[in-house]
Structure 1
């Protein structure tokens, strides 16, 4: 009987353990980058809050259209995320990072490579962190 209790306790402790908030946000950003590379826009949008606002007041639907257009036009997209600085404020956070983005077709990014600077706002929704705002700017190289 004891081995069953030990196994049950181990399963419960793993199921109940929670990733630290800053690590959860960094993991969400990394997952979003991987989804962009794999042309899976829906997975990117799963990380975005319904009331998202970005540059030029782009909303979640506008972001979906932008992603769809960019992914249709690019053969191979590469995304390399630099270090992510996360400032936590309770159930909200700000994450700042740079992303080096490449496009082998040259259709999405004219120079085929660009560094994009992001400042993103995150909030906890249930057990997940979702991006509710973002500002970005790029330096063509």
Structure 2
């Protein structure tokens, strides 16, 4: 009796062998995308905190560093106008405080929208602020060379 050996085509087992590896690759890519999102959000939170620190230290130039060159705010306020407005506020107030509520961040690739409430206080340097106001704030951000820059800002006193 004659034995017949069946020869499997070479590609038949190769595809089966690669399916688990392909599945693992997809999981790693999905996890990596989640990590990048997390890293992007952490970097954005760091830069929002940096902007807050520049405001509290009354540094108008430091505030401007977080603004994109095409920044736009309420009533057509541009980047230089925002820097001048911050400098005026800092000149009028010996102390400046900012208390931000929780950040609601919506991240899309290299753009983000941040919504929160902010209490801004200012005064002559005594124990209590002379003035204070709460604002509902929405800001747009763009990732530029690894740093988040604010592209837009709108605020409203509720």
Same fold at TM > 0.5? yes
**Count of residue pairs brought into register by the alignment:** 120
- How far residue 91 of structure 1 moved from its aligned partner, in angstroms, is 0.8
Preserved contact between residue 30 and residue 81 of structure 1 (Cα < 8 Å): no
Preserved contact between residue 105 and residue 112 of structure 1 (Cα < 8 Å): no
- How far residue 58 of structure 1 moved from its aligned partner, in angstroms, is 0.5
Higher helix share: 2
Please identify, of 66-75 and 24-33, the stretch whose mean Cα deviation from structure 2 is larger: 24-33
After superposition, what is the alpha-carbon deviation per residue over 1:33-92, rounded to whole angstroms, capped at 9, x for unaligned?
111111111111111000100000110011111011111110111111110011011110
TM-score by length of 2: 0.70
Q: Does 1:64 align with 2:86?
A: no
**Highest relative contact order (Cα 8 Å, sep 6+), 1 or 2?**
1
Q: Secondary structure at the match of 1:20?
A: helix
CA distance in structure 2 between the aligned counterparts of 1:114 and 1:42, rounded to whole angstroms: 23
After superposition, what is the alpha-carbon deviation per residue over 1:77-120, rounded to whole angstroms, capped at 9, x for unaligned?
111111001101111010111111111239xxx96111111100
Q: Does 1:118 align with 2:137?
A: yes
TM-score by length of 1: 0.78
CA distance in structure 2 between the aligned counterparts of 1:131 and 1:92, rounded to whole angstroms: 10
Mapping of residues 33-44 of structure 1, within 5 Å: 33-44=52-63
Higher strand share: 1
Please identify, of 18-27 and 95-104, the stretch whose mean Cα deviation from structure 2 is larger: 18-27
CA distance in structure 2 between the aligned counterparts of 1:42 and 1:97, rounded to whole angstroms: 23
Please identify, of 48-57 and 96-105, the stretch whose mean Cα deviation from structure 2 is larger: 96-105
